[in-house]
Amino acid sequence: MHRGAAPPATGEDPALSAGARQLAEYFAGRRRHFDLPLAAGGTAFQQQVWRALEAIPFGETRSYRDIAVHIGRERAVRAVGAANGRNPLPIVVPCHRVVGSDGTLTGFAGGLAIKRQLLTMEGAL
């Protein structure tokens, strides 16, 4: 996140500390959106998809097609799926909120059981 910068004298990285705190708040049901300095590497297309994922509200889902339309690439549904699968920051960049066009749970690096748990916790299922 902060490349090239020396960690503070305390040995703590403020970005990592904020990430840990915000994830704990999310799992405790007290956080719905993350506010972290993200610098995930990826292609311009992947980053466009990841920004669209960040725009999916807590407790809601979108289909791969919805994301493709949102970014102005309605025929790129499979490419959206591939970019979603390469998301290096799951949960923070909520790829678990993307489902099949018929609402079925599809692909998640952590497994479909975890995806179901996350969406249930958010009230989307």
Q: Which sequence positions are flagged as catalytic? A: 95
Buried b (16+ CB within 10 A) or exposed e, 24-54: eebeeeeeeebebebeeeeeeebebbbebbe
Q: The tokens 């599809």 sit on which residue? A: 106
DSSP state of 104: -
Instruction: Yes or no: say if 87 and 52 are a contact pair by the CB < 8 Å rule.
Output: no
Q: List % helix, strand, coil for the chain (3-state, nearest 5).
A: 45, 5, 55
